[in-house]
Every structure is written in C-alpha cells, then in structure tokens.
Amino acid sequence: MINLLIMGKPGAGKGTQAKKLLDFYRLTHISTGNIYREEIKNQTKIGIEAQKYISQGDLVPDDMTNDIVNEVLKTHTYPNGFMLDGYPRTDSQADALDEILDHLGISLTAVINVDVRDEVLLHRMAGRRVCTNCGIPYHVDYNAPKTDGICDFCGSKLEQRPDDLEESVMNRLNIYNKKTKPLLDHYQRLGILIVIDGEKTSDEVFKDIVSKLGE
C-alpha cells in the first residue's frame, strides 16, 4: 500500500503525473476540487455552502475542507492506498491533516513535489493557445499551428485563455509561492518530501518518481 500527496506549481504537469501514478499504483484519488464539484452538482448542504465561496473566487474555509477530508478518509477503504490532490494548500491545513492521519492511524508514504522554475512555467503557460471552435490545444513554440493563429483541423481562430495571460500566470505563481511553498518545508522536516525535476519530459518525470518511491 502506498499513500501519496502530490504537489506542484500551476502548469508544472502535476495533473499529468497524478493520472499516471493513479493508474500505475491503482490508487484512490482524493481531490478536494472534485469533491466540491460533486457536492455542488448535487446541491448538498456542503455544496451550497461551498458554492458561496467558490463563486466569488475565494478559497473554501479551512475548517470546512478539513472536515470533508476527514470524513472521506475515515469512511472509505483504500485497497492499494490513496493520492491526495489539491489538499493541503496551507500550513493550517497541513497541521490538520497530520492530526487526521494520526487519529486514523494512517501515514503518508511520500509527498511528491513536481518542481519547475517560475520562468519556465511562465514560458510554458503564456505560449498556450486553444481553438475557439474545437478546443484543440497548441503552443507557440512546442506545438505551433501551420498557420499562425489558425487551427490546423477546423480553420477557426486560436485564442489565449485569460488564465494563461502573463499577468494571470504571475499572480497564480505568486499565490502558490506565498501560501503553498511553505508546506514543502513542513514535509521536508517530516522526512517524506521527494522533489522531482519537472522540466524533463513527462515520461522521464514519471520514471523518476517511481524510482524515488522504490516501487
């Protein structure tokens, strides 16, 4: 059994690696984002309350998120282990998770941090383009269309999403560095942090993670 927490800056490829690890180790995915989306969709009491914060672009209060994670961990079984994704995001959430896991007699095997320099992420994300019609993704350097600004498949115009504008990317990275990066020190002190060079190819990053986990 293996219990993981995966971390990484916006655009670092955390989502890609999470999917590969979930499939490889046959882990149960515990994503607070997915949980809230499901609760909101079903208009549960928790979903209605969470929507008030999410619709305004605010983070759901720590206490509420901690309670949800506690409930999920204590009421589910994980034959091969689990992967936490999107939680914890703050020091207080990390402290709460430590208490939850200790109370339930569960331990984290490792915390994986997919590490990429800010300037590399800025280049990656600011260069993204997407077709306004069919949604095919491009990149001005790594996967450029044959005709600048035009989709190869349907001939529609390509656009840059608001989240990928340089100012937006820098803002997201600043928030991460301020609020989430300190968690790395927390798990470094606990001796379970594994830092992976996320600037390699996706396959190389995955091989490095599996090698470090020793599985």
- Domains and their CATH numbers in the chain: 4-117+181-213 (3.40.50.300)
Cα(55)–Cα(59) distance, integer angstroms: 10
Whether 215 has a pLDDT exceeding 70, the answer reads no
- As a whole number of angstroms, the longest Cα–Cα distance in the chain is 58
Arithmetic mean of pLDDT, 176-203? 93
Whether 180 has a pLDDT exceeding 90, the answer reads no
Which residues are 31's β-sheet partners? 85
- Residue 163 Rama label (left phi>0; alpha psi -120 to 50; beta): alpha
Arithmetic mean of pLDDT, 39-45? 90
Active-site positions read 14, 89, 128, 161, 172
Query: Helix (H, G, I), strand (E, B), or coil: what is residue 137?
Result: strand
Average confidence score pLDDT of the chain: 92
76-122 pLDDT tens trace: 889 999 999 989 988 899 999 999 999 999 999 999 999 999 999 99
Per-residue CA distances from 32 to 70, 86, 182 (Å): 11, 6, 20
> What's the pLDDT score for residue 159?
97
Whole-prediction pTM value? 0.85
